[in-house]
Structure 1
Amino acid sequence: LYIQKSPTTTKLLQKNSRDYFKVLKEKLLWGESPSKKR
């Protein structure tokens, strides 16, 4: 295994304006009725 620094860069994570708990609610389907869950 050989690891070296790349000449190009990329952004892996991006901070967005969404609220942490709003993201959790969307991802975990908090507040949804059981019939609507995926």
Structure 2
Amino acid sequence: MTLKLLVPKEVHPGERRVALDPSVAERFQKLGAEVLV
């Protein structure tokens, strides 16, 4: 079973969601996770 990480895109100014840094996304992928933005 593959772990899927979905990171929603910020669409409104001032949103308080945390962005996923590309280097962190790459680490997750190397561990076998599927990263969707």
Taking structure 1 as the reference length, what is the TM-score of the superposition?
A: 0.32
The answer to which structure has the higher strand fraction is: 2
The answer to which structure has the higher helix fraction is: 1
Taking structure 2 as the reference length, what is the TM-score of the superposition?
A: 0.32
Bigger radius of gyration, 1 or 2? Answer: 1
Select the structure with the greater relative contact order (CA < 8 A; seq sep ≥ 6).
2
